[in-house]
Amino acid sequence: MGYRLHHYNHIFPICRTSFSSFRFNLRVWCCSQSGKNQGQMKQIVVNGSETQVVVDDSNLLQKKISAIRLGGPAKLQVIADFDATLTKYRIDGCRGQSSHNVLQQEDPEFNDKRQKLYEYYHPLEFDPTIPLDEKTKLMEEWWGKTHALLIEGGVTYNGIQNSVAKATIAFRDGVTELLELLEEKGVPVLIFSAGLADIIEEVLKQKVHRSFKNVRVVSNRMVFDENGHLRSFKGKTIHVLNKNEHALDMAAPLHDHFDDVNGLSEEKSALKKRTNVLLLGDHIGDLGMSDGLDYETRISVGFLNDRVEDSLESYRKAFDILYLNDSSVHGVLKLATHLCSTESD
């Protein structure tokens, strides 16, 4: 019996083993490349279903797990991307919508204009020949034009609620349980997104049906007038190249209606003291979300949702743990439970 991974042009010998580096007592299949220590493919049985996981350096991962457990929940924070990380990449076989694509304006002309902007700028976002400083200006330009169209074409808070209700968007299995665990343990969760905070919060409200006191959305936030019409955006623009802990200074607080300026300052100070990080993302660029934090130990968890054979090599080297093919987050839930436990648990 073997697992064929064409990307390596090898057939992996498979041995049944235990995932000792996690100590989760899960049944797994461990794969190695011709006996060489060049990464491990593991098919973990979680809640009755198999999940494909790649760990490039299990020894380093175990050291990181031990270090974070030693610090305890009080030193831990979770940083997560939203689209295709907390949410599913595919729903019923179709590509799920992103938080930006969810919003539909009443005048379809403006939806078309935003789509044309996407078609022009999106290839530039991934063009390796464009210098970073020039690409940053292009992203600022793209986001600025998009936000201007949202204001010009009209957006209402009721429209956001209706757009989310009709949207093809859903959280990965296990996300609710993960957020509940982290809330119980007092671990803050920062959701970084270059999208729209109001959309993300409405998705949380409609899909999870509850709020979490430890969750904060760091994203572009809308300002509505007394009639619920979009008038402007708050703070500086957060785009794909600056969504990191530096953005905390640009973003509005999640509960800004309390107008607690001192509370926000204390929150930022407290986050800086949480120097252990569990980071979740679906792009290698998401690793930059912890920029601005002088962390001691970081465990990065990646989700490689599509074109696995094309990207596996770079992703497995970039992330400490890599889940393949639009996995659930049940494995992350077990990891978080382990990180928040004591040696005696």
Q: Say how far apart CA 147 and CA 134 lie, in whole Å.
A: 20
* C-alpha closest to that of 47 among 64, 30, 24, 19: 24
pLDDT at 7: 33
Q: Say how far apart CA 205 and CA 216 lie, in whole Å.
A: 13
Which residues have a Cβ under 8 Å from the Cβ of 265 and sit 6 or more positions away? none
Amino acid identity of residue 20, one-letter, is S
Amino acid identity of residue 249, one-letter, is D
- pLDDT by residue for the chain (345 residues), tens digit each? 333 333 333 222 223 333 444 444 333 333 334 344 445 555 444 444 567 899 999 999 999 999 999 999 999 999 999 999 999 999 998 989 988 889 988 899 999 999 999 999 989 987 879 998 999 999 999 999 999 999 999 999 999 999 999 999 999 999 999 999 999 999 999 999 999 999 999 999 999 988 899 999 989 999 999 999 999 999 889 998 888 866 776 554 444 433 444 445 567 778 888 999 999 999 888 999 998 888 999 999 999 998 888 889 999 999 999 999 899 999 999 999 999 997 655
Pairing of the two strands 2-5 and 215-224 = unpaired
* C-alpha closest to that of 103 among 45, 16, 162, 57: 162
In angstroms, the Cα distances linking 219 to 25, 77, 92, 96, 278 are 38, 18, 28, 20, 19
Catalytic residue numbers? Answer: 81, 83
Predicted structure pTM score: 0.81
Angle, helices 330-339 vs 58-71, to 10°: value is 50
pLDDT at 163: 93
pLDDT at 265: 59
DSSP 276-334: EEEEEESSGGGGGGGTT---SEEEEEEEE-S-HHHHHHHHHHH-SEEEESS--SHHHHH
Cβ 302 vs Cβ 278: under 8 Å: no
